[in-house]
Amino acid sequence: MPDVTVAAVTTATDARDAVWGPYWTSSSVGYVVTITAVSQDVDVYKTTDSGASWVAQDTLNNFPGADNRSLAVWYDKETPGNIGTLIHIAVVKSTAEAAHYAAFDTADDTYGTIRTVDIITMSSTSGDTDIGITVAKSGRLYICVRGDFELDVEDTDHSMRSSSDLFASDNQSETSPYSSDEEQLRLYPGTDADQDDISAVVFDGVNTDLEFWKYDRSGTSWGVTTIDASILVTSAEARDQKGFFDAKLRLSDEHILVAYWNDRDTATADLRTVDITQDTPTITQEGDLHQSDDSFCAGMLINQQNDDVYVGYGGSDAGDETLDATVVCYFKLSTNGMTDWGSEQTYGIESVNIRKVSGGFVGDDGGRVMSVWYRETSTTAIKVNDGNDIEIEAAAPAPASGVPVEVPAAHGAVILVAPGRMIAG
């Protein structure tokens, strides 16, 4: 059950939010997006052997350069009803002072054209930038970018843009979600009748609370609902280690599920969860996973076939490890919508300074419960474990119209029933 290196990465990986995936296209093929160590290029790494080995793809056409800062990624199939094959990638580039975008196509493992989304004043410090990306249910692509937290006294070094053609020619200005409150956010498709609308889970670094935001595109406005007002993670800690919360859209009902730490490195730090019904919106507090002063990070995975929820993190329930020095990667499973959590499962082997965990995406194509963690110990790298992961097989295809289906009957008999027909009695 070895730990496997996906890639050697930059020492600022956690501040740059630069571990995304794995995005699984089958139970053996998956993709991870990160910023590499030496060149600091943005690269997509692929496995075809269930995580035993990883290879960078189409490296001649990736995002080059040492000025890649914050990173955001969205996979087509994370949007309800979307059966596309694109991994959408947005990055802050400090030298160019711009937000850039390109799509990576898992159908042929190639990048599309790298495009400039917006020119904006940028900090050269990773922790002072932020970027978000999603694809709405209409297919409209959104990218929001924050250039500088600490120096943005005029509250102008930020923007949001949208496009109906991957920024080839359509580049529309939207109302930025950022303000002087030092927000960090992740974007999601909305559920309103206007399928151009989107949502966000936001950490407000001034008020130090977690919030849910809804964007009404036709009204060009954001609505805000508080998720948790008792966040004790400071804005400086959150900028330095952006993986203290994670959220995923559950496709079956389009709720947003969130796992987050309310504090860091204290005995009362809780790894909490909430279920957000977007329509109302309604915030439902679910079960806590964990309480420990030697644990942090949160990386969520929803098995979109049956709604099981897995959350990976660094540092055990026992609290006998040392945060920022020697922690192991673990995970827990909930089979009832995060109301209850199973026992802690050891996932990784190495005991290191784990600074970020990513859960990824598994849909009907199948995949694996295979958290990716970033270690800031010795040689900085992102890792998976090849052995303690869990295979999720592809969903069985629905029977074609008119094809009989075997249905068990009494006394061991089998009745062949055409789809859509009822059995009397």
Confidence (pLDDT) at 415: 40
Q: Is 389 part of a structural domain of the chain?
A: yes
pLDDT, tens only, 148-177 = 876 655 567 899 999 999 999 999 999 999
Q: Is 424 part of a structural domain of the chain?
A: no
Confidence (pLDDT) at 410: 39
Confidence (pLDDT) at 153: 58
Q: Is 54 part of a structural domain of the chain?
A: yes
pLDDT, tens only, 325-367 = 999 999 999 999 999 999 999 999 999 999 999 999 999 999 9
**Tokens encoding 149:** 């937290």
**Percentages (nearest 5) of helix, strand, coil residues in the chain:** 5, 45, 50
Confidence (pLDDT) at 411: 39
pTM of the predicted protein model: 0.93
* Section 185-199 average pLDDT: 97
Q: Which domain holds residue 300?
A: 3-395
pLDDT, tens only, 59-98 = 999 999 889 989 999 999 999 999 999 999 999 998 888 9
The dihedral over CA atoms of 301, 304, 308, 311, expressed in degrees to the nearest 10, equals: 10
Q: Is 275 part of a structural domain of the chain?
A: yes
Look at residue 377 and tell me whether its pLDDT is greater than 50. yes
Q: Is 30 part of a structural domain of the chain?
A: yes
Per the DSSP assignment, residues forming a β-bridge with 9 are 36
Report the percentage of the chain scoring pLDDT > 90.
Answer: 80
Number of other CB atoms surrounding residue 138 within 10 Å: 17
Distance of CA 146 to the CA centre of its chain: 18
d(CA 89, CA 23): 13
Residue 212, phi then psi, degrees to nearest 5: -115, 130
- Rounded mean pLDDT of the chain? 91
d(CA 248, CA 21): 12
> Residue 182 — left, alpha, or beta (φ > 0 → left; ψ -120 to 50 → alpha)?
left
pLDDT-derived band at 110, boundaries 50, 70, 90: very high
User: 61: domain CATH number?
Assistant: 2.120.10.70
- The number of distinct structural domains making up the chain is 1
Confidence (pLDDT) at 124: 84
d(CA 234, CA 208): 7
Confidence (pLDDT) at 122: 83
Q: Is 52 part of a structural domain of the chain?
A: yes
Q: Pick the closest to residue 233 from 176, 198, 271 (CA basis).
A: 271
Q: Is 404 part of a structural domain of the chain?
A: no
Q: Is 189 part of a structural domain of the chain?
A: yes
Look at residue 49 and tell me whether its pLDDT is greater than 90. yes
